[in-house]
Amino acid sequence: MSLNTKLVVALAMAAVSAVAWAQGAATPTDNYLKNREEGWFWYQVESEPPPPPKPIMEEKKPAPMPSVIKIEKPKLEPMSVEWFQKEYPKILDAAIDDPSTENVKKYRYATRVMLDKASNFTRTFQRESLLDPLLDESVRSPFSSAFRGSSQRLSNEQKQKATAAISKKAGLWVFLDDKCPFCALQYPIVARTAKERGFIVSYITPDGKRPTWLMGDGEVLKDAGQSRYLRIGVRPAIALVIPPENVTVLAQGMLSQDLLEERILHAGDAAGLITGQARKDAFPEHRGILTPEDIKEIGREMDKNPKGLTPSVQQRIEKRF
């Protein structure tokens, strides 16, 4: 290359640099100076811009605790039952710990008020019992001595009729043993009851033999497992037999006639042999008594009408008389 040519090239490069400097463009030299720390790699393409910084999560402040609402308990009415339940023991304790005249007097007068409240309740309770036939216990069982004897005699007559009615549907098994001294004493009681109430009796002995003291023509059977089935371990023993397979042991050991008839009556009632008016006459003490089902029905009605206790109970008591 000639000297003139080199001069022209140099002037052209100088002109380009001047134009670039004037326009603010970076030259290779500028890049080198700017990136001289990179050594030989000053000319490399600029790297991708760094990722934007992660947003700083603001810490969530805990929700403020709800303010505690104090629910004030309703003030107790002085001299009410609730007031006595809470304050009376305190008054008593204070009088015991410090038996001063003031403390003891306070306890005595508090006691007086409490007893007078009870007396007022008792007076009204008795009045309502006397004036309301549904609440008067004497309607079911007379308290007066003038009528008590008559009522008891009538009740006994009705019980005897009911027992006789049971004898038409049931019989008696009597477990005896010739070697048992109490069996000889029980036999005449059973025989008299059977005769008066109309029961058919079967006497059962271990060997089927008639005891020496057994009178009359009563049937004697051999124990073929009946005592084992009924778990009878003591003789004499008596069982009420209701065909075809209902057997109730009434006693193991001696019984008087009135107790024997009472147990026959209750066993027959439990087996459903006494119904209707005959049952009401036999058990006059049950008149007016609410049954478990009656009480459940009253409860169900009170769920619908909380104020309906009194009429609901009255209605059912009337049905039970």
CATH code: domain of residue 166: 3.40.30.10
Residue 151 lies in a domain: no
Residue 20 lies in a domain: yes
Burial category of 166 from C-beta neighbours within 10 Å (exposed 0-12, middle 13-18, buried 19 and up): buried
In 10 A of CB 135, how many CB atoms?
15
Residue 33 lies in a domain: yes
Residues 49-71: tens digit of each pLDDT: 566 666 666 666 666 666 666 66
- Check if the beta carbon of residue 238 is closer than 8 Å to that of residue 232: no
pLDDT, position 151: 83
Residue 144 lies in a domain: no
pLDDT, position 16: 45
Q: Residue by residue, what is the 3-state secondary structure of 255-318? A: CCHHHHHHHHHHHHHHCCCCCHHHHHHHCHHHCCCCCHHHHHHHHHHHHHCCCCHHHHHHHHHH
The parent domain of residue 88 ranges over 81-127
Residue 220 lies in a domain: yes
pLDDT, position 149: 79
Q: Are residues 202 and 235 in the same domain?
A: yes
Q: Are residues 306 and 201 in the same domain?
A: no
Q: Are residues 243 and 299 in the same domain?
A: no
Residue 54 lies in a domain: no
pLDDT, position 193: 96
Q: Are residues 227 and 247 in the same domain?
A: yes
Q: Are residues 120 and 191 in the same domain?
A: no
Q: Are residues 213 and 264 in the same domain?
A: yes
Residues in the chain predicted with pLDDT less than 50, given as ranges, are 3, 7-9, 15-16, 18-25, 32-33, 40-43
Element (H, E) at 220: strand 219-222
Q: Are residues 161 and 224 in the same domain?
A: yes
Q: How many domains does the chain have?
A: 4
Q: Are residues 216 and 110 in the same domain?
A: no
Residue 281 lies in a domain: no
Q: Are residues 189 and 293 in the same domain?
A: no
Residue 240 lies in a domain: yes
pLDDT, position 54: 66
Q: Are residues 321 and 270 in the same domain?
A: no
84 three-class SS? helix
pLDDT, position 25: 47
Residues 39, 41: Cα–Cα separation, whole Å: 5
Residues 293, 288: Cα–Cα separation, whole Å: 14
Q: Are residues 272 and 297 in the same domain?
A: no
pLDDT, position 78: 92
Q: Are residues 245 and 166 in the same domain?
A: yes
